[in-house]
Amino acid sequence: MFNKLWGKYKGKKNTMQIFYDFFSKKTAFFMLPCKILHLFFIFISKNHTFAILYINNMQIFTEFINLIYPKTCVACNDLLNKDEKFICLKCLYHLPKTNFHTQPDNVVEQRFWGKVPIVRATAFFRFQKGSPFQQLLHHLKYKGEKEMGQVLGEYFATDLMSSCFATVDVIVPVPLHRNKLKKRGYNQSEWIAKGIAAKWQKPLDCDTLFRAIENPTQTKKGIFERWENVEGIFEIKNREAFNGKHVLLIDDVLTTGATIVACATAILKCENVSLSVATLAMA
Ligand SMILES: [Zn+2]
């Protein structure tokens, strides 16, 4: 394992960087054997109560699991530090953020012009096909990493904190049909919305807007088919829930905007409602 890890780093040019990265990220690999040895000495000293306290304190089990299955960054595959979740700080720094929340009439908002009245719209970051950041969406949607949606939602919410997005009344994720929810086990947009709602301490509503018709997946459809595929498939359970409110609709990826428009059409049937949109990514 040591050779494997070292091999990953030796290709890098800067020697100082090699040592810095290697020793800062791999401290656990050196510390664990020391801790196990320490524990052994405590046990042979027959002070078992102290040994148990010691085990609890150093979370030996978690560290052991991390040693066998090290957690890696979803985007670059590098090993994660103890404080990093799903994505390393380096990738987070290089995330191609749009900052559209600071630009009224941005290209996301323009996608809805002439279709549905949207107050503001934004996307957290852009991705290109095959880019490491596409992996974030792939893991979120298909690899069961739902908690990553919440983590990214919190980062997104932090960026939007001082914008008008943070003044909405309720946060609503684009729903999945109940059959799809059963199959996948979770709604990725709901987890993103959960992170945003938690950061802003705002209500999250995952019940009022629902997918009444199960439509085939959008991913393999052309532009025109995507619009046809989602028309009229969303409905509102209780119209009074959104009356007079500013709703923030959350989705994972914005492509043509057809799904958002279909949701907006249903939401805007409520009285005196206004709608903004925030998606995690845009293609
Ligand atoms: Zn990374």
Q: If the chain, 283 residues long, is cut into consecutive pieces of 10 residues, what is the mean pLDDT of each piece?
A: 51 49 54 69 67 64 68 92 92 96 97 96 94 93 94 97 96 95 95 98 97 80 75 90 97 94 95 97 93
Find the 87 Cα to ligand 1 centroid distance in Å.
5
Give the per-residue pLDDT at 11. Answer: 44
Q: How far is the first Cα of the chain from the last one, in angstroms, to the nearest whole number?
A: 38
Locate 196 and state its tokens. 């945003």
In terms of Cβ atoms closer than 10 Å to its own Cβ (0-12, 13-18, 19+), residue 83 is exposed
Find the 155 Cα to ligand 1 centroid distance in Å.
15
Question: Would you list the domain boundaries of the chain?
Answer: 2-70, 94-282
Q: Are 120 and 109 in contact (CB under 8 A)?
A: yes
Give the per-residue pLDDT at 29. Answer: 58
Give the per-residue pLDDT at 64. Answer: 66
Find the 264 Cα to ligand 1 centroid distance in Å.
35
Distance separating alpha carbons of residues 104 and 121, to the nearest angstrom: 8
Sign of the CA dihedral with 264 first, then 169, 181, and 140 last: positive
Around ion ligand 1, which residues have CB less than 5 A away? 73, 75-76, 88, 91
Distance separating alpha carbons of residues 31 and 50, to the nearest angstrom: 20
Q: Which residues pair with 209 in a beta bridge?
A: 236
Q: Say whether domain 94-282 belongs to CATH 3.40.50.2020.
A: yes
CA distances from 86 to 31, 69, 76, 133, 218 (A): 23, 14, 10, 12, 27
Find the 15 Cα to ligand 1 centroid distance in Å.
20
Q: Of 128, 9, 147, 148, which is closest to residue 78 (Cα–Cα)?
A: 9
Tokens 């002439």 correspond to 114
Distance separating alpha carbons of residues 28 and 66, to the nearest angstrom: 9
CA distances from 138 to 133, 135, 274 (A): 9, 5, 31
Give the per-residue pLDDT at 47. Answer: 65
Find the 68 Cα to ligand 1 centroid distance in Å.
20
Give the per-residue pLDDT at 239. Answer: 84
Residue 234 is given by DSSP the state: E
Give the per-residue pLDDT at 13. Answer: 41
Give the per-residue pLDDT at 248. Answer: 98
Distance separating alpha carbons of residues 205 and 102, to the nearest angstrom: 26
Find the 228 Cα to ligand 1 centroid distance in Å.
38
Find the 104 Cα to ligand 1 centroid distance in Å.
31
Residue 253 is given by DSSP the state: E
Q: Are 115 and 109 in contact (CB under 8 A)?
A: no
Find the 134 Cα to ligand 1 centroid distance in Å.
12
Find the 59 Cα to ligand 1 centroid distance in Å.
25
Q: How many Å is the Cα radius of gyration of the chain?
A: 23
